[in-house]
């Protein structure tokens, strides 16, 4: 029933303990008897001079090693730093040349198309110069504007499909002085979902029309607040929290918004224009009128922005200082909105008086915008998030506002059976 299998020569060590080992393996595993002991000791082999000096050298090596300090191994980074202007990285081919001929042909075709569009653009610019050189009375202004618009389109098309241009645009190394980079970034902001998500949250949560009748952003405004504190109370004062991007409409903790946020913008116009920064709470209770009103948390007029402006925006807290969000106890979630509204005169500064603490409550943004020529329908930037009350809000009332914290809630319901509940049930 059981077949005897033959072990290979490399497994002869196991033949002494296995019952199904072969006869040859068993005989090979038997150790030979030791040789007989002789009465005369065997002569020792003569030691060579190298062998005599080896122990001496071996004794000296530990002594020398004791005096030397151990060399610290160099710590190599586990990963490359992220791509940024401080750590730029050039575009490289994903595969070597000749591996995929179709890819090589596609790159050659894109570069040839770019060169052809460059030549056409040069000829068009010469035509525009010739048209401008015509005397003013005979100049065809409408045709010149059409040629300039065509030159703008050709300038974008000549570089938009180059791999290195798209690499720099998607990895934060775009040169905003060039038209093609501004076009690619605006196209990505409008078509890849960032603007759609912002407008969805703004309309879904009633920011429009509760705050403004209409809003059409023309620049990408991003808000960064510190990340939530760790759950461990021990680590809360020992860990430095990093700033993280805030998605429109999410909930933040009041602890995260104690300090002013870092505002990043991507502007698509090269000329410098003035904007007014506003931060408003839309859900402050108004018990006298049994409704809700607004509260101005922050205002900074005359903020100069262009495609070449530094990011984050270097804002000063000099005009109407920043007050941390403080949703009241007993209320639902509060909607907080940050706006960058374009001023009517793009280069003329407006003079807005500093608002007092009493004027912050009930701040009418529509009346303020009509007075100073601010129109959200003509562009600007917007962002929003939500917060609810927690225990840390009490510290904002004590340290910042220095007022007593209000508490809201539904009035107690009248109990029709209150007297009956006081009597004995069984008499």
pLDDT digits (tens, 9 = 90+) for 242-254: 999 999 999 999 9
Same domain, 233 and 289: yes
- Would you say how long the chain is, in residues? 427
What pLDDT is recorded for position 424? 83
Mean pLDDT of the 108-129 span: 96
Mean pLDDT of the 391-417 span: 91
| pLDDT tens-digit series, residues 324-365 | 999 999 999 999 999 999 999 999 999 999 999 999 999 999
Element (H, E) at 182: helix 179-191
Dist. CA 198–CA 220, nearest whole Å: 10
Per the structure, the count of domains in the chain is: 2
What pLDDT is recorded for position 170? 92
Dist. CA 318–CA 284, nearest whole Å: 25
Cβ contacts of 309 within 8 Å, gap of 6 or more: 265, 267, 272
**24 vs 86, higher pLDDT:** 86
Residue 54 pLDDT > 60, yes or no?
no
Residue 399 is classified by DSSP as I
Residue 17 pLDDT > 60, yes or no?
no
pTM, two decimals, is 0.77
Phi, psi dihedrals of residue 365, rounded to the nearest 5°: -70, -35
Mean pLDDT of the 167-185 span: 94
How many angstroms separate the Cα of 318 from the Cα of each of 101, 354, 359, 360, 411?
A: 62, 9, 17, 16, 41
Same domain, 228 and 359: yes
Same domain, 280 and 235: yes
What pLDDT is recorded for position 30? 46
311 inside domain: yes
Mean pLDDT of the 138-154 span: 94
Dist. CA 237–CA 36, nearest whole Å: 80
CB-CB neighbours of 275 under 10 Å: 26
Structure tokens at 5: 């299998």
Dist. CA 187–CA 202, nearest whole Å: 21
Dist. CA 138–CA 144, nearest whole Å: 12
SS3 288: coil
Element (H, E) at 196: helix 194-204
Give the domain extent around 293.
206-401
262 inside domain: yes
CB 171 within 8 A of CB 89: yes
Same domain, 273 and 310: yes
Same domain, 129 and 218: no
Structure tokens at 222: 């991003």
**34 vs 85, higher pLDDT:** 85
Question: Quick one: pLDDT band at residue 62, thresholds 50, 70, 90?
Answer: very low
**β-strand partners of 255:** none
Residue 51 pLDDT > 50, yes or no?
no
Same domain, 340 and 222: yes
- 262 HSE (CA, 13 A, CB side): 11
**33 vs 134, higher pLDDT:** 134
Same domain, 145 and 256: no
Average model confidence (pLDDT) across the chain: 86
How many angstroms separate the Cα of 121 from the Cα of each of 107, 114, 129, 159?
A: 21, 10, 12, 12
CB 209 within 8 A of CB 376: no
Question: Quick one: pLDDT band at residue 270, thresholds 50, 70, 90?
Answer: very high
What pLDDT is recorded for position 71? 65
SS3 301: strand
Mean pLDDT of the 173-181 span: 94
Of 191, 220, 238, which residue sits at a domain end? 191
Residue where the block lists tokens 């879904």? 204
Residue 213 pLDDT > 80, yes or no?
yes
Cis peptide before 375 (omega within 30 of 0): no
CATH value at residue 240: 3.90.280.10
Mean pLDDT of the 94-118 span: 96
Same domain, 240 and 117: no
């Amino acid at each position: 029933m059981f077949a005897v299998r033959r072990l290979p020569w490399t497994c002869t060590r196991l033949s002494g303990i296995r019952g199904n080992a072969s006869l040859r393996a068993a005989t090979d595993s038997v150790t030979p008897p030791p040789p007989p002991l002789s009465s005369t000791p065997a002569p020792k082999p003569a030691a060579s001079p190298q062998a005599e000096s080896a122990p001496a050298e071996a004794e000296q090596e530990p002594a020398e090693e004791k005096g030397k300090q151990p060399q610290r191994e160099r710590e190599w980074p586990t990963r490359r730093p992220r791509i940024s202007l401080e750590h730029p990285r050039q575009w490289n081919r994903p595969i070597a040349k000749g591996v995929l001929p179709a890819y090589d042909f596609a790159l050659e075709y894109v570069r040839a198309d770019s060169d052809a569009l460059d030549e056409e653009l040069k000829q068009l610019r010469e035509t525009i110069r010739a048209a401008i050189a015509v005397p003013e009375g005979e100049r065809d202004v409408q045709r010149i504007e059409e040629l300039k618009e065509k030159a703008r389109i050709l300038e974008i098309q000549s570089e938009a499909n180059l791999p290195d241009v798209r690499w720099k645009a998607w990895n934060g190394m775009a040169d905003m002085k060039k038209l093609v980079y501004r076009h690619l970034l605006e196209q990505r902001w409008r078509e890849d979902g960032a603007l759609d998500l912002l407008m969805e949250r703004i309309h879904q949560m009633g920011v429009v029309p509760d705050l403004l009748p209409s809003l059409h952003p023309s620049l990408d405004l991003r808000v960064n607040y510190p990340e939530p504190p760790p759950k461990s109370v021990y680590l809360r004062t020992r860990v430095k929290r990093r700033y993280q991007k805030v998605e429109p409409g999410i909930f933040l903790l009041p602890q995260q918004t104690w300090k002013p946020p870092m505002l990043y913008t991507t502007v698509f116009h090269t000329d410098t224009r003035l904007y007014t920064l506003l931060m408003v709470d839309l859900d402050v209770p108004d018990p006298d009128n049994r409704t809700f009103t607004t509260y101005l948390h922050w205002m900074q007029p005359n903020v100069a922005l262009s495609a070449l402006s530094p990011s984050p925006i270097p804002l000063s807290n000099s005009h109407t200082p920043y007050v941390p969000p403080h949703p009241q106890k007993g209320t639902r979630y509060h909607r907080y909105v940050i706006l960058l509204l374009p001023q009517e005169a793009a280069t003329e500064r407006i003079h807005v008086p500093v608002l007092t603490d009493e004027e912050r409550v009930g701040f009418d943004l529509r009346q303020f915008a009509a007075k100073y020529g601010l129109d959200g329908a003509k562009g600007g930037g917007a962002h929003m998030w939500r917060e609810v009350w927690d225990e840390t809000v009490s510290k904002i009332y004590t340290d910042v506002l220095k007022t007593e914290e209000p508490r809201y809630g539904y009035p107690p319901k009248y109990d029709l059976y209150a007297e009956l509940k006081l009597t004995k049930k069984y008499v």
